[in-house]
Amino acid sequence: MSRWQHNRPMSRMSSRSLTVKRPKASMAVWPRCDWYNLRFMLRILFSELMANTAIIFTLVHYNASFPHSLPIAVPAAGVFGWAVWVCGPISGPQVTPIVPVALVIIRHITIIHALMVVIGQFLGSLFGYLLAWALRPGNHPSVHGTNYGLTLVNNVTVGQAFGLEFMAAFWVILAVLATLDEFRPSVWSQGHITSFYAFFALTILWLAAVVGHYTGASIHPFRSLIPAIFSNNYKDVWIYFTAPFVGTIVAVLIYEMIMSEGASAARIKAWFTDRNFDRHLDYKMVEQEDEV
């Protein structure tokens, strides 16, 4: 056996051992500048675009004034559930800008990935509204007016409308954070991702039924902004841009500092000060070990 033949298996083994696997792309890690990560981010953008196109089209196009029409809360819940089931494995989906904001605050995703999500949501909201406008029926109650697709304050004061949108966003974000909580007991977390679409649909059904009549239960700034731009009617739009984000911030602080099983002073300190903050690390246990 020649020397080359003798060493051939070893060279194969060496080449295998030297093969470096590419790190799997994740929204939790700052992306590398390569085609693999660019493709990953473009898929996120497209996923959010598709989800928001379906959502905004449904909310704007649906006519609840027919004699036997279901309340708008029902198709709203259906389309949100559809979006989560179809686009969930790709981008979540995060469906409204308040979700990526919350996930950036808790350091679950990076800013660059959140930006791709928000761009996709804006484009999806725009396409969804334009699609609803192009396919609008002549008997839609607002088709001939100047408020097509607008979310308007109805039978409540401005302060009450702010409070309703605040609470709706607050409860949505609590639902998202509870689902993503790394310290959630296993009996509550097993299979929760695959069933999240149904839970989220029920959450939207609940909020749309309770809040929808008064503010539209927008919880989505672009849902309110796009129709306002096309209708040139910006009355009370500021409510839909401020209340959901304020509700989001409050929900994040309450859940991360109090409600999560992993909440502790050490974790809060690391959350705000440690560049390498690890969401999966139990800082309470680390602190106790250090004291011992």
pLDDT tens digit sequence for 266-287:
999 999 999 999 999 998 887 6
State the chain's mean pLDDT as an integer: 88
Contact 221, 159 (CB under 8 A): no
pLDDT tier for residue 5 given thresholds of 50, 70 and 90:
very low
Whether 162 has a pLDDT exceeding 60, the answer reads yes
Percent of the chain having pLDDT more than 70? 87
**What are the φ and ψ backbone dihedral angles of 192, each rounded to 5 degrees?**
-70, -30
Least confident segment among 11-15, 53-57, 61-65, 222-226: 11-15
| Cβ neighbourhood burial of 152 (10 Å; 0-12, 13-18, 19+) | middle
pLDDT tens readout for residues 11-51? 454 445 445 577 788 899 999 989 999 999 999 999 999 99
Q: Report the chain's C-alpha Rg in angstroms.
A: 23
| Calpha distance 76→128 (Å, rounded) | 14
**Complete domains list, the chain, with CATH:** 23-261 (1.20.1080.10)
Burial 70-90 (b: 16+ CB within 10 A, else e): eebbbbbbebbbbbbbebbeb
Q: Give the residue with greater pLDDT, 168 vs 3.
A: 168
| Calpha distance 188→54 (Å, rounded) | 30
